[in-house]
Amino acid sequence: MPKTAGLETAGLYLQLGLSLLACKTDNATLFYNNKYSTHMSKYNVYGIGAALVDTEIQVTDSDLKRLEVEKGLMTLVDEDRQQEIIHHLQNQLSTSKRASGGSAANTIIALSAFGGKAFYSCRVANDADGEFYLHDLDNAGVKFNSNSALTDGLTGKCLVLITPDAERSMNTYLGVSETFSIENLDSEAIKQSEYLYIEGYLVSSDTGRKAAIRAREIAEKCGIKIALTLSDPAMVTFFKSGLKEMLGKKIDLLFCNEAEAVSWTEGSDLECVLELLKQSAVAYVLTMGDKGAIVFDGENQHLIEAHPAIAINTNGAGDIFAGAFLYGITHGYGYKKSGNFAALAAAHVVSQAGPRLNPEQYPKILASL
């Protein structure tokens, strides 16, 4: 081989290596990430979303009517409105449960509890709730960015009002979570992950929406797979255009429930909805409560049967489903097995109070597969 040809070949390899390091979206990078990212990723999932301290309160339908709370939805409220609700429910507070939450946080914590490696970016305030929140993330084994912590203001809080039929109605004061922004992202952690997981609730904040878009762009440039949850029917109804911005042309995996999917696609029936979802994502998970779920892996559709459960609280069911599913597909399970695993986890969480399982339950569910 002529010496010049050898130099040219060496130059090409050097150029390819530099492009891989820079996470350029050329064919070589996509090949590199798709083939090797599972072995080289530091985190299974990098999540972004609200940081909310959840307080679960058992209420009646008459309580909701008296307080003019819309049943089954997440409603954004200001601090005064949230305090008004708390004041009227003083007698129920003695049995309430408190935990770090937010939809994506619940998902990320579940993935970590099953043994996955997770990173979460959020924003909390320099107050007791903020310290409680970060301590809870740390105890769950979830890594988080230092620039998410302890800013001025108030940490977000969510009142989860649960009626006897197990339905949850959420009244959320976002606090400083509303100002979650691009500066709270950790681009290096995104690049070291298999999946980026985006919470749809971020669309309700201008800075949060922009942060979600930037995170997606970073992931796209590095060949990192992107998953997004639509989060709530109200987000689709009132912020559809913003969600479309966050989603971009097409993502790898979309999570939604029936109501969200119908509103998102505007399909006339379930068959039409399922077909239209393929325009938004390569694969999707559509949960249907006690009717199970439908999982599409990009080629085949799988019907996932619900596991028997006596539901006393549906808070966190969709979140743990997503967390278990993401754990499955990042640990060698197929989409169908991941769906069955996720359905089993969701059945356990709806059978008890709180959006999470007890620590000893996670390995037992894994062992039962």
pLDDT higher than 90, residue 190: yes
Q: What is the pLDDT of residues 259-294, one digit of tens each?
A: 999 999 999 999 999 999 999 999 999 999 999 999
Q: How many domains does the chain have?
A: 1
pLDDT at 148: 60
Contacts of 73 (CB under 8 A, 6+ apart): 169, 170, 232, 233, 234
Query: CA-CA-CA-CA torsion for 128, 114, 328, 43, nearest 10 degrees?
Result: 60
Q: What CATH number corresponds to the domain at position 190?
A: 3.40.1190.20
Residue 95 within any structural domain of the chain: no
In a domain, 1, yes or no: no
- The residue type of 160 is V
**In the structure encoding, which two tokens stand for residue 80, read together?**
């005064």
In a domain, 75, yes or no: no
Classify residue 241: in a domain, yes or no.
yes
Least confident among 21-25, 221-225, 260-264, 295-299: 21-25
Does residue 47 form part of some domain?
yes
For the stretch 309-350, pLDDT in tens is 998 888 889 999 999 999 999 999 999 999 999 999 999 999
- Residue 257: strand, helix, or coil: strand
| Structural domain contains residue 81 | no
User: Greater confidence, 22 or 347?
Assistant: 347
Domain, as residue range, for 336? 43-51+102-153+175-367
Per-residue pLDDT at 368: 86
Amino acid 94: pLDDT: 66
What is the distance between the alpha carbons of residues 328 and 31, in angstroms, rounded to a whole number?
22
Inside any domain, residue 285: yes
Compute the distance between CA of residue 83 and CA of residue 67 in angstroms, rounded to an integer: 12
Residue 225 and residue 37: Cα distance in Å, rounded?
Answer: 10
101-110, 145-154, 221-230, range with the lowest pLDDT:
145-154
Q: Could you tell me the pLDDT band of residue 173, with boundaries at 50, 70 and 90?
A: very high
Tell me, yes or no, whether 184 lies in a domain.
Answer: yes
Residue 218 has pLDDT above 50, yes or no: yes
Kindly state the helix (H) or strand (E) to which residue 121 belongs, with its residue range: strand 118-121
Tokens 């967390």 -> residue = 323
pTM: predicted TM-score of the whole model, two decimal places:
0.86
